[in-house]
Each structure stands twice: as C-alpha cells, then as structure tokens.
Amino acid sequence: MGSTAKIQVNARNRAYQFEGDCGEKILNLGLSNAIGLPYECGSGTCGTCKARLVSGDIADRWPEAPGRKYLKLKKGEFLMCQCTAESDIEIEVESFVHTMEAGACVPSALKGRIASAKLLVHDVMLLRVELERGVDFDAGQFMLIQFPEVVGFRGWSMVNYQRHAESLDFVVKKQPGGKLTEWMFSHECEGLDVELFGPLGDATFYSRLGKNILCIAGGSGIAGIMSILSRAQQDGYFSQYNGYVFFGVRTMKDAFFLDELSDFSDSGGDKLEVTIALSEEEAPSSAMADYPHLNFDKGFVHEVAGRRMADRYKDIRAYLAGPPPLVNGAIGMLLQARVTTDNIRYDKFS
Amino acid sequence: MSKNQQICNVADIPPNGMKSFKTEDGSKILVANFNDGYYAYSDACPHQGTCLGEGFYDGAVLTCHKHLWQWDITTGKPIGLAEAPLERYQVEVDGGKLFVKAASALRMAVLFADISEATKTRLERLTRRETFESGSILYDIGDTTDDLYILESGRVEFRFGRDDRTSAAGFILRKGEVFGWAALLEDQPLRIARAVCVEDSTLLRLNGEEAVELLSADPESGYRVMRQLNTLITTHLTSSGRQ
C-alpha cells in the first residue's frame, strides 16, 4: 500500500492512462479521474464494470462478489469495482468510454462520521453522516459506504439535496441475512467513522430538464426520490411542471417519510401529486385523515401508478427505484405507455 | 453455423411475440414474429450478453431489460440508447418449420442498413472475403486509404504512433463492424492508425472508390450511407450526449 500504479484502460474508442494508489479500486481511480468507466452498482453485484486484464497484476478484494457470475474468468475478466492494481496494469473495457461531461460531479474518496441513526419504522433507519469536507452531488445519486466493522462497500442514495453538502442522509433497510445491516440494527452506530466513495449514478434530476416528472419507488428506494423532490422544491420546479410520486410499501406499519412527502405535496400545490401504494392492505381511514395532502391506494406500486397515470405520460421523465421486480414491472408499464427509454432512469437495488 | 438449421416450428412463436431457442452449438437464438414475418437474432444482448428473451417486446420493438437498449425487430437496427445492432440470422420458413442461417457481415453492418436491396446486393458482389492470421497488419500509418473493411469474425485493434512508441486507439470485435472508413472520404488519402488482427480474423474487404461509384448511381442509398458514416464518426469522437 501507499505505492502508486499506472493504469491504462483500452476502451472501444480509445485508450486512457491514469495513476493511482495501489490500494484503491480500479473503478474508483478511473471515475475520480473523470473517466466515465462503465458501472452500475459499484459494489460487486451487477457485473457492469467488468474488464479484461491485458498485462500486470491485480488483487481481488472480494472474490465472493455475486457479480463474478457474469465474468469469463479464463479470459482474465474481473470486476473493476472490486479489484486493485498490484503493479502497472493494462486492461480492456468492451464498451465506448468517454470523459465525464463538464459540470458532472466527479466522484472521490471521502471520510465521514455517523452523526445519528434513527429508526423510521421497525426495519428501516435514517442515517446521517457528517463529512470531513463538503461534497457536490446531483439529486438521485448514491454513495458507496464502508463501515470499519464490516468489510465491503454498499451503495445508498442520498435523501437530502444541497450544493456542497456537509452531511448526507441515507435510508437503510434491514436485509435478512445482510451482514452489515444486521450489524447496524443490533449495534450503536452513532460516532462511528465511515469511508465513502461517490457521488455515483446517473438517475439524476436537474431543474433544466423541463419535463413533468414521474417517480415510482418501493421501500428504501424512496431515498433518491426524496432528494429529487427536495431539489425540485428548492428550484420552484412544480410551479411550472407536474410531479407524480408513487411510494410503495406493504402496510401502513412499513410506511415512513409521510410527513415529509405531505409537506412536499402541500408546497407543490396542485402540480405535485403524491400517492402511497399499500400492497397488502387497504389504507385505514385514520391515514387519510392524518395526511389530507396524500393519496392512498391498494396494490403494487407500479400497478397503482399505471392505473392513476392513465394517459398523463406526455413530456415525462420517469425515475424508478426499488427492488428489481418493481423496477422491471414499472419499465414494462412505461414502455407500453410509449415513454421513450432515454426518459426512464433507475437504480436497481438487489 | 453457416448452414440452415431448424430451430423451431412457426407455431412455437406467439403472434407478435418472441421466444428463445438453443442451437446445436449451445448458443441461443431469439425468434420473433411481426405481422407475417419471422426474425431471428442472437439472444445475447450486444451490450453485456443479457438474455434478450427476458426483455420486452411490443410486437415491433425489442427492449433489453438491463439497460433499455432497443432495436427494430425487422432489421435489428439500434434505436434510442442502443449502441450496436443485433446479430442477425436469415430466416426461412418451410412447411411450418423455421430454419435459420447466419447473415452476412455486410447485411449486419449498420453503415449499410438503410440502403436499397439492389444496391446492397451489388455491394455484396464487390466485397472480397479474406482471412488473416493473428498478428497480421491490415494497414499501417501512412498507407493509402484504398479499402474499407467489415469484420465477420475475430478481432482487430488500432494503434497510433510508430515503432515501440505506440498507443492503443480502440478495437472492434462485433460482426458487421466497419473500419477503415476513410476509404469513403475525400481528401483523406493516408491511414492515421495501424490496424492489426489480434486473433485469426475473417474480413469483408470493399474498395472505397468502387463503393462510392456504386453509391453515386443510387444517390438515396449513398445519402443514407453518408448519414450513418457521420453518426459513426461522431460516436467515436463525442460522448452520448445523455442528460
């Protein structure tokens, strides 16, 4: 560690060279040099960041990563998000690679401390991380976070939105069998030092988008949507454009952020419509009385969205977030409604 | 697989639907119905190999569920976010049985996808099919830009610079990819990179002057080729422009 390596990436269209710390992940080194290497989850699951080793030595920091099932190991393929350079290396990426556009938030390694960890409902917590230095990110992006106690980075979307943010809020759902989240739900997290890398992800919202927005989220997927709503509210976006938000949970017991969503809906006036979809029960009348600015409906969130959107897909940009069946269901619905693919943005949490 | 191979019966394909089938060599082929026609493509998404049979098909447009690349089912041409065409197979239906055969590299080339059938056939006649061993240099910096190449199989890499001071300048590996397209341009008489086969490769070779002459006789096709050529050059030079 401490030594540096020269890395050459041969992409379909050209080659890139950069240098970096041998202990850093190859993907992170490329991205922090504003080179748009391919990735999706950044945390070893999706396989999108696969590359082939042409020469030199690498070390695999997570040989059990589920994303390795997409690799042809005999051909020397590896995941850039899990491997580090042990010497100068030359690698190959099959896709076109371009430098990041001017104005993009270039990701970097960050340090932070957990300022608070509050339960939102029985299996979901809101985590606030105070950063050593402020960071710029776009609404809808995520960070990779590593706890000292549990090895490996996880990707969580930011809930808040501000330029030069000095603290970041995340929603963490307890995953049955998930090492980190089980640890977090049974230990005191406040005061812990964490490492971060980001911001990442291109399911982002900008006010210059100039379209109506449709957000469909399930469970902790609402995090990035909150950031999008926050930015839209700050910029007065809903004075001009419509917003349709659908948030799916199983029952009222699993629902959170209802006060915040209600405030967004209130401040957005007629143009912002927020619907809570409960998949396993009818909404109790008390919920409707408590949240007059929210709609409640029964069903899977993408089905509820499909029903309520009816023919309101004109000039729309859709943001989807949640478990893969939800995202796939929503994509199918949007394609049927003739929403073009460049207007469908999502992060699949698996 | 260059011979006709039966992979299913017409009745196996739902009307305006699609289904994947395994071939003799273990690869998978996707067969789709659109109106009265049947179309067959490699089931592996040209992006990351995702099974296209698990994607969405609305009876005209196929969408890969992973990154929403899309294609016109009748041509395999990319639409929207897609950066590459589908690998096409020719289909023959005989007595309710459906046979497939790998399509020629020229017929898969996006550069020539929009031209008239007659001009496509004439272009096909102009091509020479050549095989090269791994390590062969197809052309070097400063060589004249006489021919255009279409990859059928194998892999070709490009390098800038001379002697041992060279740098990688991209590579191609998909059937139907075209390179050496300076042969179609005016005032670009010399190669600016070296093209090397890094695997045993089969290529279709097309003389630039002859191709331009042929396209001049069919200006509409010629215009379409030049439009595609512009897109190709732009893809190599700029980002996708997504925002």
pLDDT tens-digit readout, A140-156: 999 999 998 888 889 99
Contact flag B49-A14 (C-beta cutoff 8 Å): no
Mean pLDDT across the stretch B174-193? 88
Spell out the residues 6+ positions from residue B71 whose beta carbon is closer than 8 angstroms to its own: B41, B61, B62, B77, B78, B79, B82, B85, B86
pLDDT of B2 reads 55
Report the candidate in A185, A21, A32 with the shortest Cα–Cα distance to residue A118: A185
Number of domains composing chain A: 3
B8 and B19 Cβ atoms separated by less than 8 Å: yes
Indicate the burial class of A148 (C-beta count within 10 angstroms; 0-12, 13-18, 19 or more). Answer: exposed
- Looking at the fold, whether A186 and A231 belong to one and the same domain comes out as no
Specify the DSSP element, H or E, that contains B210. Answer: helix B208-216
Q: At A186, which CATH number?
A: 2.40.30.10
Residue A216 domain-assigned (yes or no):
yes
pLDDT at B231 (0 to 100): 83
In a domain, A316, yes or no: yes
Grouping H, G, I as helix, E, B as strand and the rest as coil, residue A11 is: coil
Q: Alpha-carbon dihedral of residues A182, A188, A193, A194, nearest 10 degrees?
A: 20
Q: In what order do the strands lie in the sheet with B88-94?
A: B5-9, B97-102, B88-94, B37-42, B28-34, B18-22
For B144, phi and psi rounded to 5 degrees? Answer: -75, 145
Q: What is the pLDDT of residue B238?
A: 59
pLDDT at B112 over 70: yes
Q: Tell me, yes or no, whether A126 and A40 share the same domain.
A: no
CB-based contact A341 B80, cutoff 8 Å = yes
Structural domain including A16 reads 4-92
Q: How confident is the model at residue A301 (pLDDT cuts 50, 70, 90)?
A: very high
Residue A51's domain is classified under what CATH number? Answer: 3.10.20.30
Residue type, A181: T
Region of residue A307 (left: phi > 0; alpha: psi -120 to 50; beta: else): alpha
- Asked whether the beta carbons of residue A10 and residue B168 sit closer than 8 angstroms, the reply is yes
How many other C-beta atoms can be found within 10 angstroms of the C-beta atom of residue A241? 18
Q: Are residues A253 and A153 located together in one domain of the fold?
A: no
Note whether residue A58 is domain-resident: yes
Q: How confident is the model at residue B239 (pLDDT cuts 50, 70, 90)?
A: very low
A54 and A140 in a common domain:
no
Tally of residues, chain B: 243
Query: Do A231 and A195 belong to one domain?
Result: no
A252 lies in some domain: yes
A11 and A118 part of one domain: no
Looking at A158, A176, A200, the residue that finishes a domain is A200
* CATH number for A321: 3.40.50.80
Closest residue to A340, CB basis, from B80, B172, B235: B80
Same structural domain, A143 and A245:
no
User: Is B170 within 8 Å of A12 (Cβ atoms)?
Assistant: yes
Asked if residue A103 belongs to a domain, the reply is no
Cα distance between residue B103 and residue B112, in whole Å:
14
Is A222 in the same domain as A185?
no
For residue B65, give the nearest of A95, A331, A340 by CB distance.
A331
Q: Is B80 in Cβ contact with A342 (below 8 Å)?
A: yes
At which of A167, A200, A233 does a domain end? A200
Strand partners, B90: B101
**Chain A: nearest CA to B167, how far in angstroms?**
7
Q: What is the ipTM of this complex?
A: 0.80
Give start and end residues of each alpha helix (H) in chain A.
Answer: 26-32, 179-186, 222-234, 258-268, 285-290, 301-309, 324-336
Residues A246-266, mean pLDDT to the nearest whole number: 96
Residue A48 DSSP one-character state:
T
pLDDT 10s digits, A32-91: 999 999 998 999 988 889 999 999 999 999 999 999 998 989 999 999 999 999 999 999
Task: State how beta strands A77-79 and A294-298 pair.
Answer: unpaired
**The pLDDT value given to residue A279:** 96
Beta bridge partners of B8: B98
Q: Kindly tell me if the per-residue pLDDT of B171 is higher than 80.
A: yes
CB B174 within 8 A of CB B84: yes
CA distance B151 to chain A (A): 15
Q: Flag whether pLDDT at B1 surpasses 60.
A: no
Is A177 in contact with A99 (CB distance < 8 Å)? Answer: no
Judge whether residue A251 has pLDDT over 80. Answer: yes
* Model confidence band, residue B24 (pLDDT cutoffs 50, 70, 90): confident
CA atoms of A36 and A105, how far apart (whole Å):
12
Closest CA relative to residue A79, chosen from A89, A65, A90: A65
| Residues B97, B10 contacting (CB under 8 angstroms) | yes
Structural domains of chain B ordered from first start: 5-103 (2.102.10.10), 110-241 (2.60.120.10)
Q: Which of A37, A58, A92 is the last residue of a domain?
A: A92
DSSP helix/strand/coil, A80: coil
Paired strand residues for A248: A218, A277
Residues A332 and A244 in one domain: yes
Q: Cα-flanking dihedrals φ and ψ of residue B146, to 5°? A: -85, -45
Selected for mutation to probe chain B from A8, A14, A105, A319 (highest B CB count within 10 Å) is: A14
> Whose CA is closest to A237, among A267, A263, A261?
A267
Average of per-residue pLDDT across B51-78 = 93
Q: Chain A: nearest CA to B172, how far in angstroms?
A: 7
Distance CA A296, CA A250 (A): 12
- Whether the pLDDT of residue A321 is over 70: the answer is yes
pLDDT tier, A213 (very low <50, low <70, confident <90, very high otherwise) = very high
Partners of residue B213 on adjacent β-strands? none
Residues A261, A132 within the same domain: no
Min Cα separation A53/chain B (Å) = 15
Using pLDDT thresholds of 50, 70 and 90, give the confidence band for residue A123: very high
Say yes or no for a CB contact (<8 Å) between A98 and B239: yes
Q: Give a yes or no: residue A101 inside a domain.
A: no
Q: Which residue has the tokens 């199918």?
A: A332
Q: What percent of chain A has pLDDT over 90?
A: 80
* Any domain includes A300: yes
| Mean pLDDT, residues B73-82 taken together | 90
- How distant, in Å, are the alpha carbons of A82, A254, B47 from that of B21? 34, 43, 20
Whether A130 and A194 have beta carbons less than 8 Å apart is answered as no
3-state helix, strand, coil in chain A (%, to 5): 25, 35, 35
Query: Is A315 in contact with A212 (CB distance < 8 Å)?
Result: yes
Q: Do A11 and B170 touch (CB under 8 A)?
A: yes
In whole angstroms, give the CA distance from residue A245 to residue A317.
12
A342 and A263 in a common domain: yes
Tell me: do A189 and A243 sit in the same domain: no
Which pLDDT score is estimated for B138?
Answer: 93
Give the pLDDT confidence score for residue B243 in this predicted structure: 30
Tens of pLDDT, residues B120-152? 999 999 999 999 999 999 999 999 999 999 999
